[in-house]
Amino acid sequence: MAPKHPHDAGPVTLANASAAEMSTVERLKHASEGLFYVQSTHESRHTMRSEIDALSAREAETISEHAKEIAKHFGIYKQRERNESGKKDGDFIFMVRVKNPAGGELTPAQWLALDEAAARFADGSLRLTARQGVQFHYVRGHNLHPLIRDINTSYSNNGCQLTTLGACGDVNRNTVASPIDDLDAELPLDSHELAHAVAREMTPRSSAYYQVFLADESGQQIAPLNSEEPIYGAQYLPRKFKVGFAHPHDNSVDLLTQDVGFIPRVSGREVTGYDLYSGGGLGATHNQPDTMPLLALFLGVVQRDQVLDTVLAIAAIQREHGERRNRRVARWKYTIRRIGVAAVKETLRQRFEIALEDAEPVPIPPVRDHLGWYPEAGAGDHLYAGIMIPNGRVHDEATVRYRSAIRRIVSEVEAIGVRVTPNQHLILAHVPAARREWIERTLAEHGVPFDGEVAQIRRLAMACPAKPTCGLAMTHAERVLPRYLAELEAAGLGDIDVIIRMAGCPNSCSRPPTAEIGIIGYGKNDYVLMVGGARNGSRLARVLYPRLGESELIEALKSLVRAIRDRNPRRLSAGDYLDQTPDAELKTR
């Protein structure tokens, strides 16, 4: 019998192990010297720039598997098209993600530049994400460098420079905030400013990204100009890290799914502090009972001037104590529970001098869809409008031309702002009331359904991209959810208010575990069906059917939505009804 490894009984962390004892990804990050090098063998390494240059010169179809792990930190996912069986046998492609903190308000020039880049370098579509970012899909290798250079150099800075740096990888991802934070006429706030501050401070400091993608021929370097990462250290975080800010009237960011989440406490219109939640995350691995979706824990109240310091402190604790051998249990949600909430709170107070106050948490508001017209805060007769973008895919179809409609509107309405919502929709901000009718007419001319034309069951439904591009997907999501919703509408159930979310794998990027009805891919034509999440994201759904084929899934969806309508005498919200009704009764058709 092999001798027991000294860390078999406990976590492998920076405090008790060397890089050699950690996962392959940890060793690659350590050897990269700030993401500059790719360690191809034990004794050989080359620059990340050399792999990108080979793509640009069409000397390579894709990057190496080791480079793939470094590239994630640059907002790049290596992919390969997959056939219906799931086999990766198609073209090598890339997904490129743009960080857009707080669903950041894009100027018309920025939106039009993104739109043009989609046509020049990708598949002609823009994909809005559940973390308020923007993704380019089907990027070919030779277009990777020019696309990223274009994003970083062609779009003017609007509070936080648009970039792909840190949009993926073991760093702070896109920092989210309610898209109506400062627009809400009843309670305009400025949490989006904190979200931008977190995004700026938590951006990697290494020069590698700029040397790989932004240096011209004369500016290429054979060694990193700066490999120091004062926040992340040589190995960055053990896993991705997510921060979000809810609004007292809107929890579309799903506050309790964040590694670190804040919601303002208000008295009248004055913010008196920020409730701090920590340790949320929805990813899991099928048949791995030590992995699970978990909701964030309430830690207390911090003041505005310590919000950023609190994020930095929790990131530091995770950097030092997070698991670095088994990536499945390396997220902060596992670390905080292993260390213990009391110990984390004491560390925040004593070591980091965070004035964390004990208090009862304020109520968490429901998820809102933001669709339709709303009066906008501030002087002047302005409105904002939410436009449904099914599954976040901004593109033109034969009869519905989302991309063309948005392009025309932002081209012709002066000073308009474009925001991305956590429901993968768009908000048009600062619309003069006089342009309301013209915008509605423009949407209609392009076949884009607006507000009352959108079936209730579609307003908060969303899916992740899944197959055929995502390498982790076990089945379809974005490609099939519209068909499932159409089946519900055909059954006369389109006007039922229920949140349905679908993901192609248990990473749950579209957040099914907090939905009222959640669907997670298990395999080809194989799904997990969950029910009972809360409308405000404060309760996880439970598994009702551990395995269903597609035809069974469609019938189960019809039965559940019909029960919400017909067997719900107290008229509970969909999530509350499903949570309170026994499984056997829900399975009765």
Higher pLDDT, 368 or 152: 368
Domain boundary among 395, 416, 451: 451
Three-state secondary structure string covering 180-249: CCCCECCCCCCHHHHHHHHHHHCCCCCCHHHHHHCCCHHHCCCCCCCCCCCCCCCCCCCCCECEEECECC
- Same domain assignment for residues 376 and 423: yes
Domain boundary among 350, 385, 412: 350
pLDDT value of position 270: 95
Q: What is the pLDDT of residues 289-345, one digit of tens each?
A: 999 999 999 999 999 999 999 999 999 999 999 999 999 999 999 999 999 999 999
Q: Edge-to-edge, what's the strand order for the sheet holding 260-267?
A: 176-177, 243-245, 260-267, 270-278, 297-302
CA distances from 362 to 218, 264, 272, 298, 452 (A): 56, 9, 12, 10, 32
Mean pLDDT of 264-292: 97
Poorest-pLDDT segment among 24-28, 41-45, 94-98, 392-396? 41-45
Instruction: Tell me, yes or no, whether 14 lies in a domain.
Output: no
- Same domain assignment for residues 381 and 265: no
Three-state secondary structure string covering 241-307: ECEEECECCECCCCHHHCCEEEEEEEECCEEEEEEEEECCECCCCCCCCCCCCECCEEEEEECHHHH
- Same domain assignment for residues 492 and 431: no
CATH of the domain at 497: 3.30.413.10
Number of domains in the chain: 3
- Same domain assignment for residues 487 and 566: yes
89 by DSSP, 3-state: which?
A: strand
- Same domain assignment for residues 467 and 445: no
- Same domain assignment for residues 200 and 246: yes
pLDDT at 368 over 50: yes
- Same domain assignment for residues 87 and 136: yes
Instruction: Tell me, yes or no, whether 41 lies in a domain.
Output: yes
* Cα angle 10-298-73, degrees, rounded to a multiple of 5: 60
Higher pLDDT, 414 or 198: 198
Poorest-pLDDT segment among 42-46, 227-231, 382-386? 42-46
CATH of the domain at 434: 3.90.480.10
DSSP, res 376: B
Domain boundary among 350, 384, 405: 350
- Same domain assignment for residues 378 and 335: no
| pTM (predicted TM-score) | 0.96
pLDDT value of position 212: 93
Poorest-pLDDT segment among 179-183, 250-254, 434-438, 472-476? 472-476
Instruction: Tell me, yes or no, whether 11 lies in a domain.
Output: no
Which residue has 């794998």 as its token pair? 505
- Same domain assignment for residues 105 and 82: yes
- Same domain assignment for residues 256 and 382: no
Mean pLDDT of 47-56: 96
pLDDT value of position 3: 40
pLDDT at 402 over 50: yes
Q: Residue 501 pairs with which residues in a beta bridge?
A: 462, 518
Closest CA to 128 of 384, 475, 422: 422
| Token pair belonging to 70 | 């470094």
pLDDT at 43 over 80: no
Instruction: Tell me, yes or no, whether 389 lies in a domain.
Output: yes
- Same domain assignment for residues 403 and 478: no
Instruction: Tell me, yes or no, whether 73 lies in a domain.
Output: yes
Instruction: Tell me, yes or no, whether 447 lies in a domain.
Output: yes
Q: What is the pLDDT of residues 545-585, one digit of tens each?
A: 999 999 999 999 999 999 999 999 999 999 999 999 999 99
Range of the structural domain that residue 384 is part of: 372-451
Poorest-pLDDT segment among 3-12, 298-307, 515-524? 3-12
pLDDT value of position 89: 79
Instruction: Tell me, yes or no, whether 8 lies in a domain.
Output: no
DSSP, res 362: P
DSSP, res 342: H
Q: Residue 373 pairs with which residues in a beta bridge?
A: 385
Instruction: Tell me, yes or no, whether 66 lies in a domain.
Output: yes
Task: Kindly give, in sequence order, each residue whose CB lies less than 8 Å from that of residue 212, ignoring residues fewer than 6 positions away.
Answer: 36, 47, 48, 49, 52, 74
pLDDT at 221 over 70: no
- DSSP track, 100-135: -GGG-PBPHHHHHHHHHHHHHHSSS-EEE-TTS-EE
580 by DSSP, 3-state: which?
A: helix
pLDDT interval class at 380 (50, 70, 90): confident
Share of the chain above pLDDT 70, in %: 95
- Same domain assignment for residues 180 and 62: yes
Share of the chain above pLDDT 90, in %: 89
pLDDT value of position 426: 98
